Structure 1
Amino acid sequence: MQFEEEKIFEAAFDSSSFFKLSVTSAFSEDCILFLSQLSKSILKDKDARQFPDLMTFGYFCRKANLLKFKDGQLDKDIGDTQFGRGVCLHIAPANIPMNFAYSFIMGFMSGNKNIIRLPSKRFPQIDIFLRIFEFVTNTHAFNFVKERNSFIRSDRNSQKLIDLVSKVDALVVWGGDSTVKTFRALEKKVSCFEVYFPDRVSSFLINCDFLIDESADNILKLCENFYNDTYLVDQNACSSPSMILWYSKNDNHLLARTIFSNYLNKTLEKKYEMESISRIEKDIDVMRYCNLVDGSVELDKYSDVLWYMDSPGFKLLKPKLGVFISKNIADLELLPSFFRDNEQTLTYYGFDNKDILKVLLNKVPRLIDRIVPVGKALDIGFIWDGKNMINTLSKYMDCQ
């Protein structure tokens, strides 16, 4: 069911009947069949094709991808005794359009009934998703999905939302540290299973020696992928790089940065337009960064929408809106020293991921969560921040 306006949620959402519905088994055939049909409907929708993040979600829901995870990550000895915990409430971040949908399928494929609080900001991707979801679930075969999953919009201080928090069996919260603290403090059932995704930061590692020998077509493809990781969401996603690490054994840092920046600006001219309010916010952010590091920051502006920044206190900063911390590396062994305490994802270009992993193993007090190729930063999966969300949001019934 959909309650896309706050007043509709407040007036019409019936939690008592919703809580009485039954759970399902994790990765049930019916749930896989529904997501497969949802995937097909998204991928053939002409409006959906305008949004790479919505199309990526459509590809993620393909039956082959779901079965690959099931075969590789779920315990085959459990059989049909892995079930949803009950009602799972999802609090989606305000500034990442499709995050809510991934959170939904984490709870859905775990066997739960789900209440998904949509972002307060309106995104066209969400409207398209909800339209397609409504179309697919209106068929008799998938009425059970419509009954057991509700998309809502509510004020964060809504008493009805607070009451829901106190009753649900599982709570998944995505957002900044302040959002996490707010929901941690709310009253809940003693048995409520809580999962939080607080503020994180991420970086992009680029092999300069490799880049300078690449063809123009390959560099343009690199820039397209980098754009999808960053500018598509204005670097608001925890997995969007806020720092670029330029690696070269042959002192090609500046040459590679110039080449990359020139091609990236070509991509941005075609695809990216910064709103006036964002330009003001960007200038304010720089002043705030100076205050955070108790001094000044070094800025190198390649265009209005591409700035590089450096400061001795760079680990305190998480820039966005086309501002990137820029650091040169001559020895890959030094890579761990650049990571911040809450580093999550490292995207890369011009490397073998095994070489990167080798550098990190046994050399850092806490391993990062992901090492993925450039262009894959926003590809959320059932394993996120090191948590297998299917096993986290479901439980095993001991049946002897």
Structure 2
Amino acid sequence: MKLFWPLHKSFDEALDDFQKTPLNQPFEEQIIDFTQALSKRLVRIKKQPEIVALGYWLRKANIKQMQKIFEKQHENSIIQARGTVFHIAPSNVDTIFVYSWMLSLLVGNRNIIRISSKEQNGLNILLQSILEELSKPEFKVIAQQTIICTYKYEETMTAQISTICHTRVIWGGDATVEAIRKVPLAPLANELTFPDRFSLAILNSEAVIALNEKALEELARQFYNDVFWFDQMACSSPRLLIWTGKQQEEARVHFWSAFEKVIRIKAYDLLAATQVLKFTTVLQLAAEKKVHHVNHDVYFSRVKFQQIESSVRELHCGGGLFYEFDVTDLVDVIPIICDKDQTLTYFGIEHQQLISFIKAVQSRGVDRIVPIGQALDFDGIWDGQNFFTSFTRAIVIK
């Protein structure tokens, strides 16, 4: 066990003091002040765009909009924090725990955050910024309501925290969720799980062809942001590209050429180990009968399928590997959607088409449909679950 916050205490001492700390009311000013101080600090970390994005999400205008929606939805209700929320962060997206922590904090909860023990440069910078803000006298109350720690997945620590929390949030792969679910929760506690998911993008070929050079470059840049901020390992980063329309081959040439130019400009650097894994994955896929064509390059690899089955999702390794699949119309995508599919990014598809499409999907799949460039944007609903609802309780008085 390593305790990042509070400082100079054992975990047992910190936990004892933590449990004695009162809860806040939703959207108290001191909480909003803390989010703004953190926002101003994070937007200056220009070398980590995912941290900048987090800082931008925390800006006052966005927080106030959340407050407005929350208060409107509950104007005739009494809503209180649930109590203690236990956040278990993943190792592949080092900013995600802050989103669920902030949403929980905004509605008044105490929070225990278990961050990954994996060394991550982005996490070190982010964590240092958080600790410095928690150390300020004006945020003493929030500091008393916060524990940040890391430990190997020792069941005793997870069990100890799980017995006293009122909500448990698990970010991680299927194996992580399965393992932690074996650890009992208190009888009145609820749980949010965010296991392995798979995301895809749909592009209309005619719309891509119609773009001028500047607009095409912007589309490629937005796609780059969706994919490479977390080396394509974020659950919402597109891994399968589906082409619709009648000019698919021409559109493909235009799009991938523009995308490669953006990668060169960004000077994207992929770890050697990831390069090797991607190459071996491509070789494995090339032997599949349902694979039509394979294109392997330094920056990214493309595997075109004649047929997409749910099992190929498990083979994807990230790092710039793209599956491709052609359909005539959007409705032809419906049979390949499965429960694991999370985010659908799109370009050149009409809004009404998207509504008709999602109403026709019969599987559990697809919880978000957003334009290309917004795959990593976070809000209060994720994987179809409303954080504010899960982090609060409604009091009935008659």
TM-score, normalised on structure 2?
0.90
Shift of 1:348: 0.8
Aligned to 1:195: 192
Partner residue in 2 for 1:183: 180
State the Cα distance separating 1:186 from its structure 2 match: 0.7
Q: From 118, 121, 131, give the equivalent of 2:118.
A: 121
Q: Where does residue 275 of structure 1 map in the other structure?
A: 271
Question: For the residues of structure 2 that align with 1:71 and 1:355, how far apart are their CA atoms?
Answer: 30
1:368 paired residue number: 366
Aligned counterpart in structure 2 of residue 323 of structure 1, from 315, 321, 324: 321
The corresponding residue for 1:16 is: 16
Of 221, 224, 227, which aligns to 2:221? Answer: 224
Structure 2 counterpart of 1:132? 129
Q: Which amino acid in the other structure matches residue 168 of structure 2?
A: L
Residues 378, 363 of structure 1: alpha-carbon distance in 2 compared, 3 angstrom cutoff: closer
Report % sequence identity. Answer: 26
CA contact (8 A) 1:201 1:241 kept: yes
CA distance in 2, matches of 1:289, 1:115: 42
Match of 2:201 in 1: 204
Contact 2:345 2:370 in 1 (8 A): yes
Q: CA deviation at 1:367?
A: 5.9
Change over 3 Å in CA distance of 1:190–1:350 after alignment to 2: same
- CA deviation after TM superposition for structure 1 residue 73, in Å: 4.3
1:104/1:114 contact within 8 Å kept: yes
What is the identity, as a one-letter code, of the residue corresponding to 1:14? A
Give the C-alpha shift of residue 194 in structure 1.
1.0
* 1:133 Cα deviation from its structure 2 partner: 2.2
Per the alignment, residue 297 of structure 2 pairs with 303
Paired position in structure 2 for 1:233: 230
Question: 1:302-353: CA deviations, max 9, x gaps?
Answer: 5222212144354212322211110112122223123223211100112333
User: Any idea what SS the aligned residue of 2:193 has?
Assistant: strand
Quote the residue 1:350 is aligned against.
348
Q: Partner residue of 2:75?
A: 77
Q: Give the counterpart letter for 1:32 in structure 2.
A: I
TM-score normalized with structure 1 length: 0.89
| Aligned pairs, number | 390
Which residue is 1:253 aligned to?
Answer: 248
Q: Displacement, 1:57?
A: 0.9
Deviates more, 1:177-186 or 1:83-92: 83-92
Equivalent position to 1:285, from 281, 290, 295: 281
Which letter does structure 2 place at the counterpart of 1:52?
A: P
1:335 to 303, 309, 333: 333
Opposite residue 306 of structure 1, the aligned amino acid is F
Q: Are the equivalent residues in 2 in contact too, given 1:9–1:153 (CA < 8 A)?
A: no
**Residue 378 of structure 1, aligned match among 361, 371, 376:** 376
Distance in 2 (CA, whole Å) between partners of 1:287 and 1:156 is 34
1:31 aligns to what? 31
Unaligned stretches of 5+ in structure 1?
none
Q: 1:220 to 1:69 in 2, by over 3 A?
A: same
- Structure 2, unmatched stretches of 5+, are none
Q: Which moved more, 1:142-151 or 1:364-373?
A: 364-373
Q: 1:169 to 1:289 in 2, by over 3 A?
A: farther
Q: Do 2:282 and 2:296's aligned partners in 1 also have CA atoms closer than 8 Å?
A: no
Cα distance change, pair 191–237 in 1 and its aligned pair in 2 (3 A): same
